[in-house]
Amino acid sequence: MRATWDIFCRVVDNYGDIGVTWRLARQLVAEHGLAVRLWVDDLTAFVRLCPQADAQLLSQMQQGVVVCVWSADWQAVEPADVVIEAFACELPAAYIAAMARREQKVLWLNLEYLSAEEWVEGCHGLPSMQSNGLSKFFFFPGFTAGSGGLLRERELLTQRRAFQADGRTRDDFLCSLGVEPLAGAKLISLFAYENAALSGWLEVLAAGPQRFQLLVPEGRILSSLQSWLGSPLLQAGDTYLRGQLHIRVLPFMRQEQYDRLLWSCNFNVVRGEDSFIRAQWAGRPLLWHIYEQVDDAHLEKLEAFLARYKEGLSADAQVALVGLWHAWNTNGPIGESWQQLLESWPEQAEHAEDWCLQRASQADLAEALVQFYLNWL
């Protein structure tokens, strides 16, 4: 009988948590033949990623995954063979008690947030004994062979390369979003949190000699874009022209569509964790808007990633990359760093593809989780 897996997810304030767990659940079913239940406390957020889902159902099958409402009024269920507590979301007490009573032992995993910090390897896979006799293991996604790897479907890079090699397929996809590619223009996707640094960057894009198309899916960055445009509420389908900058607001899209948007663009601005990983698999230069934490703890994580990512770049290219990422994440002046990045563009583009291929040589997150379970048995 195939192993059963339960994944628990609390939607915090964005789509990162549900985005990661939904991708993971689908991959465990599609590529490893597992029986997976995804417990979500906010189906409204889930429906944004899976429009065919019904936010009113307590339980439903979507793409092979049983999606269940995780309500405050918990109803007893039989625990799965493997239980993933995503991002320290704290399982229901009654479920933990049922895990402890289960005759066949349960593998309890705390799937942590992604980090490039050096201590991750030392903590990955470590157990934590609980007062009820259960052990909870800490599972850290990461960028090195000693970590839990990154979410990556088996055929993802093959699909991406085929898409990027076929200009007509790309143009047809963009046209499906209402975007007509402009001759000679660089395409930029922008999916970020509110950012005061945006206005300075847009001024540079609009005033330069190069034509740019800025594609902006619906999200929190729209309020910053509205301020710069001096426009009323922005919505999908809106277009604006400022000098050399052509702006198009796109609808919120399914994950598969968003992947293709990243593949279509020359440069991708992303946020959080899910879109950050997907931009790396796109093999194109990127800019990460990291989720802000108290006491600037997020900046340590930013530095840890930059320390790894910039390896192999020339000194000038490193200065451009680090300067741009720092300015974007600290609301600093961004124009000079952007110009430096453009000057090193061929090198930045080659490096992005090389980084992607290096990470893809490691086991992906789903594969690593399954192997951890098999080793634990």
- Spatial distance between the Cα atoms of 18 and 9, rounded to a whole number of angstroms: 6
| Distance, first Cα to last Cα, the chain | 15
| Catalytic site residue from 6, 238, 273, 347 | 273
Catalytic residue check, 171: no
- Spatial distance between the Cα atoms of 298 and 292, rounded to a whole number of angstroms: 6
Catalytic residue check, 17: yes
**Exposure string for 102-123, b = 16+ CB within 10 A, e = fewer:** eeeebbbbbbbbbbbbeebeee
CA distances for 326 relative to 208, 287, 300, angstroms: 22, 10, 11
SS3 assignment, position 170: helix
| Catalytic site residue from 17, 81, 347, 367 | 17
- Spatial distance between the Cα atoms of 269 and 89, rounded to a whole number of angstroms: 28
Q: Give the DSSP per-residue string, 62-93.
A: ETTEEEEE--SS----PPPSEEEEETS----H
- Spatial distance between the Cα atoms of 344 and 316, rounded to a whole number of angstroms: 8
Return the axis-axis angle of helices 315-330 and 297-309, rounded to nearest 10°: 160
Active site residues: 17, 273
